[in-house]
Structure 1
Amino acid sequence: MDARKSALDILEKTSRTFFIPISRLPDGLLEAVSSAYLCMRAIDEIEDRPDLGNDVKARLLRQVSLNLQAAAEGTTASDFELGLASYGEVLPEVSLRLGEWALLAPADVAPRIWDATAAMADRMAHWADVNWTIHTKADLDSYTFSVAGAVGLLLSDLWQWHDGTKTDRSLALGFGRGLQSVNILRNYKEDSGRGVDFFPDNWSVKHMQDYARHNLSLADRYTEALPIGPTLNFCRIPLALAHATLDALERGEEKLTRSAVMALVKEVTLGAFRRRTVG
């Protein structure tokens, strides 16, 4: 199967939030962003796997990091996947095919994606070691940087690599942290059931909602500053979904319905089209 089509198939299975904006990116940028998303989703699935002990998660994540750091000309997909095959019955397909995602990006930007994924894997290993223990806002900021804020920085680099678009990197951090904090709010009851609490000591749901709102406001500023084009089109959809999800959670709903997601995507897409034609 064509590598690009295979990646989009897996992407559609793993993320309704990101599949649509990624699938609409132009050639080259689509492969780069797909590679970045799937590589990071691959290690995220290792971090989140309920049937692996924290020590095993940390070991696997550090092995993946070393695999990525060892990449060079001639590195094969199996080289990126060293150490994962033994857990083939536990890990999902997106993790076991990490090497394919690593090799999907254009050669001149792939090392930046490998570097970002290796660094994130090491950070995730740390959080597995400490059982995701968060006591202070600084701890929360550190965690949300580790797993999401750094993704915002990588995306900024990919935008600049593709067409020279420059962005405010401090706001890019807010973009990543905003999306992640909404995920924390959406999943905190499930996380509590597995003994993990991402809320700082003495924080209520309202505190986390305020944290999410603050970071989403930075994400709004980040997006508003983007020129019309693929970067803006990509960012608008997950940001709109994050705002809508946070609103739904505050109303007492568990998540957005699929119909609500599709309606919002259509609204955002149509709005982008109108902005492009009017502009």
Structure 2
Amino acid sequence: MNGPNDALEVLKQTSRTFYIPIVQLPGDLREAVTSAYLCMRAIDEIEDHPHLENATKAQLLRSLSLKLQTGTGDHDDFSPNWGDSYADLPDVTLRVSEWANLAPHSIAPRIWDATAAMADRMAMWADRNWTVNTVEDLNSYTFSVAGAVGLLLSDLWAWHDNTQTSRLDAIGFGRGLQTVNILRNHQEDKARGVDFFPEGWTAIQMQAYARHNLEFAERYTKSLPKGPALDFCRIPLVLAQGTLKTLALGKPKLSRDDVMQLIAPFVNP
């Protein structure tokens, strides 16, 4: 098993948005958040895989969920039987057992529980081919894959230094970031036969939904005291807000220069 430094290298390869705020966290919190992010990324790669059948995705996600529910803290093996899918899965997914074992023992079970629950929800959405017909469907999906992550982050802040936050605002934090991703990836999702827009909605309605949830996210961030939680949350929030403004102007995404300008005030020299 490789250590935290290797996990951070994998993190750097998989996330432009979250690598910088995670590496700035203090030691034990950095390990916990890295564990949580990579576990979630591992199952996300299954959900978004371009070649696996939906039934295969659902089976893998449920198998992984069951493995995570067996954790004892004794260097558990959380890897399910990948079967014929092994060669098609990325490294970050195949190494999920390493990520799950990375977190400090006192918070690891919460990360296992959150990842297992999300894997089960993703499996359900794979079964229904991510069909979103109503606003209620959209609320359900964005909670399943992101709002629940906001709740997990709040638990991590409380575990580390007893930082208390509004759980409703935490859900909005996750939902807002996810909705911006939906907008950014809309054409790509449609090309693979998936549309997260409720029936009759255009980008205008989805942008309004994103702005509404980003208001919760901003309130959530402003409620955090100075410290690692605030430092972590400000970067993805400002990038989501910047991306939403860019999309509203008809541009596909932020440029690299735009990203660097937005995050410069929050990056430690």
TM-score by length of 1: 0.94
In structure 2, the residue matched to 1:211 is 209
Gaps of 5+ in 2: none
In structure 2, the residue matched to 1:52 is 52
Aligned-partner Cα distance in 1 for 2:74–2:109: 13
1:122-144 C-alpha deviation (Å, 9 max, x unpaired): 00000000000011100000000
Letter in structure 2 aligned against 1:119? A
Aligned-partner Cα distance in 1 for 2:2–2:197: 43
Aligned-partner Cα distance in 2 for 1:213–1:227: 24
Counterpart pick for 2:141 among 140, 143, 146 = 143
TM-score by length of 2: 0.97
> Is contact 1:85-1:96 (8 Å) kept?
no
Letter in structure 1 aligned against 2:228? P
Q: CA deviation at 1:269?
A: 3.6
How large is the Cα RMSD of the aligned pairs?
1.3
Aligned-partner Cα distance in 2 for 1:165–1:73: 25
Aligned-partner Cα distance in 1 for 2:97–2:144: 22
Q: CA deviation at 1:86?
A: 3.9
Aligned-partner Cα distance in 1 for 2:44–2:243: 21
> Is contact 2:2-2:98 (8 Å) kept?
no
Q: CA deviation at 1:85?
A: 5.8
Q: CA deviation at 1:2?
A: 5.0
Q: Does 1:89 align with 2:117?
A: no
Aligned-partner Cα distance in 2 for 1:197–1:250: 19
Q: Does 1:190 align with 2:213?
A: no
In structure 2, the residue matched to 1:99 is 97
- State the percentage of identical aligned residues: 61
In structure 1, the residue matched to 2:108 is 110
What's the secondary structure of 1:170's corresponding residue? Answer: helix
Q: CA deviation at 1:268?
A: 3.4
1:181-216 C-alpha deviation (Å, 9 max, x unpaired): 000000000000000000001111100000000000
Q: CA deviation at 1:73?
A: 3.7
Q: How many aligned positions are there? A: 269
Aligned-partner Cα distance in 2 for 1:186–1:175: 17
1:214-261 C-alpha deviation (Å, 9 max, x unpaired): 000110000111100000000000000000001111111111112211
In structure 2, the residue matched to 1:64 is 64
